[in-house]
Amino acid sequence: MTEQTSADQQPQPARTGAAPTSSSAAAKVPDALRRRIPKAADLAPLMQFKAPKLPTARNRVAKANTIADLRAIAKRRTPKAAFDYTDGAAEEEITLTRARDSFKDLEFRPGVLRDVSTVNLGTDVLGASSALPFGIAPTGFTRMMQSEGEYAGSQAAQEAGIPYTLSTMGTASIEDVAAAAPNGRNWFQLYLWTDRDKSIELINRAAVAGYDTLMVTVDTSVAGARLRDVRNGMTIPPALTAKTVLDASYRPAWWFNFLTHEPLAFASLSRYSGTVADLINSMFDPTLTYQDLDWLREVWKGKLVVKGIQTVDDARKAVEHGADGIVLSNHGGRQLDRAPIPLHLLPEVAAELKGKTDIILDTGIMSGGDVVAALALGADFTLVGRAYLYGLMAGGRTGVDRTIELLATQAARTMQLLGVKNVAELNPEHVRLLG
């Protein structure tokens, strides 16, 4: 009989995507994915154990990748009263929080397809060059934070090619700082006293010592309510009480340095013992007016800068009364709480005074990106205070060097990512304020 093929025995067309029907058609497992026992020769390059490093200042701060990292080290190594004096601000510290948030609450607007293989961070400020677009702001009682104090700051600034500002309430004298950094660009910050003869004495000493810029601070008619200092019982010099001795047990290196170096004092003033607020309220002049600025302009022959400008009107008046530069600053939030935020004020001031005076911004800067944002919005230069002090407390001179290095590296990288290769190219188109 002829064999018939039934319908269910008819060949079926192959289905797309059907699984292979034989082992020979199975996908081959790549050699790289086959399990194997690792060879010693393969493991050797991976085993890069490093010898432990001694806990020196250099090794400690080298691990810091941000100013916040330096702050964390500083907090561990510095007694609470001294750390809080640096870290704190007035009353509820609203101004300081807002100042820092202002830099977070912005948007960079980068340009692409630009040649940014090289970046130049140099700029001119107050008639001379600076290797970087930031300098060190005046800070009082600096040797209280760490025993190297103003010497570390001025020498690090000299090495970096940037300005250093010595405070009237510094703990190293005008002459000693000039001797420590003889090739640096040193500025002197002045609080005008009710006793004008003492002010004249300081001004003359700064001129003789080679300081090229006088920075007069005008936002301290009375002391701000710095409540952390009140709660800590902070005095100058620090008092040895049961509380401070207990605190010292966790920071022996700070106390060893403090007790084995020259006693802490206001080096440009006569010795004083009491709270910071008492000093300000008893010594500084609440009657200060623009006529006093006219007087200063006649007395001081170098560059004159007014620090503490917080309105467009005052910025204009300071220039009209002879200021070569203005510092938009609310004293780091340490005076009037809820004061204007310098970064928010900057575009208005720049719109009116750019090119007519040097516009410097202070308060809230904690990264190189912050520096770049300020320059883009119209600042000619910036100052860093707390960021510098965090580095100082973290590791003395080495910590200050690290602060400058971090800020410079971050600023350069930010400019490259914006498509900018020098400071002069930065403009308001590179930044948008979101708040």
Rounded Cα distance, 406 and 408, in Å: 5
The arithmetic mean of pLDDT across residues 253-281, rounded, is 69
The arithmetic mean of pLDDT across residues 34-48, rounded, is 80
pLDDT band at 109 (very low <50, low <70, confident <90, very high): very high
pLDDT for 74 = 96
Q: Which of 10, 229, 11, 210 is nearest to 128 (CA)?
A: 210
pLDDT for 44 = 76
Whether 430 sits among the annotated catalytic residues: the reply is no
pLDDT for 5 = 47
Rounded Cα distance, 202 and 306, in Å: 17
> Quick one: CA dihedral 149, 132, 307, 332, positive or negative?
negative
pLDDT band at 19 (very low <50, low <70, confident <90, very high): low
pLDDT for 236 = 61
Q: Which fold has domain 91-433?
A: TIM Barrel (3.20.20)
Q: Which helix (H) or strand (E) holds 382?
A: strand 381-384
Residue/partner pairs of 204-211 with CB below 8 Å, 24 or more apart: 205/174, 205/175, 205/268, 206/174, 207/300, 207/301, 207/302, 209/174, 209/175, 209/177, 209/178, 210/178, 210/186, 211/166, 211/174, 211/178, 211/186, 211/187, 211/302
Is the pLDDT reported for residue 388 higher than 70?
yes
The arithmetic mean of pLDDT across residues 133-144, rounded, is 94
pLDDT for 220 = 86
Is the pLDDT reported for residue 187 higher than 90?
yes
Contact 36, 29 (CB under 8 A): no
Q: Give the SS3 label for residue 225.
A: coil
Least confident of 205-209, 264-268, 309-313: 264-268
Among residues 261, 321, 331, 344, the one annotated as catalytic is 331
pLDDT for 193 = 79
Q: Which of 201, 261, 271, 260 is nearest to 236 (CA)?
A: 271
Is the pLDDT reported for residue 343 higher than 80?
yes
pLDDT for 1 = 46
- The domain limits of the chain are 91-433
Instruction: Output DSSP code: residue 120.
Output: B
- 305: Cα within 13 Å, side-chain hemisphere: 29
Q: Which of 140, 92, 105, 331 is nearest to 218 (CA)?
A: 331
pLDDT for 51 = 73
Q: Give the SS3 label for residue 74.
A: helix
Rounded Cα distance, 219 and 331, in Å: 7
Q: Which of 391, 394, 345, 387 is nearest to 365 (CA)?
A: 387
Rounded Cα distance, 325 and 361, in Å: 11
Q: Give the SS3 label for residue 258.
A: helix
Rounded Cα distance, 155 and 409, in Å: 20
Contact 363, 332 (CB under 8 A): yes
Is the pLDDT reported for residue 2 higher than 60?
no
pLDDT in tens, 145-177: 999 999 999 999 999 999 999 999 899 999 999
pLDDT band at 197 (very low <50, low <70, confident <90, very high): confident
Is the pLDDT reported for residue 57 higher than 90?
no
Q: Residue 371 pairs with which residues in a beta bridge?
A: none
Contact 276, 331 (CB under 8 A): no
Q: Which of 89, 67, 111, 131 is nearest to 381 (CA)?
A: 131
Tokens 């190297």 identify what position? 148
Q: Fill in the amino acid letter for 428.
A: P
Q: What is the dihedral angle through the alpha carbons of 167, 172, 176, 177, rounded to the nearest 10 degrees?
A: -40
Rounded Cα distance, 60 and 402, in Å: 11
- pTM of the model as a whole: 0.87
**pLDDT averaged over every residue in the chain:** 88
pLDDT band at 136 (very low <50, low <70, confident <90, very high): very high
Is the pLDDT reported for residue 277 higher than 80?
no
pLDDT for 87 = 94
pLDDT in tens, 230-242: 888 776 666 657 6
Q: Which of 409, 217, 415, 196 is nearest to 332 (CA)?
A: 217
Rounded Cα distance, 257 and 260, in Å: 5
Rounded Cα distance, 18 and 34, in Å: 26
Rounded Cα distance, 164 and 46, in Å: 46
Centre a 10 Å sphere on the Cβ of residue 297 and count the other Cβ atoms it contains: 15
Q: Residue 433 pairs with which residues in a beta bridge?
A: 106
Contact 238, 144 (CB under 8 A): yes
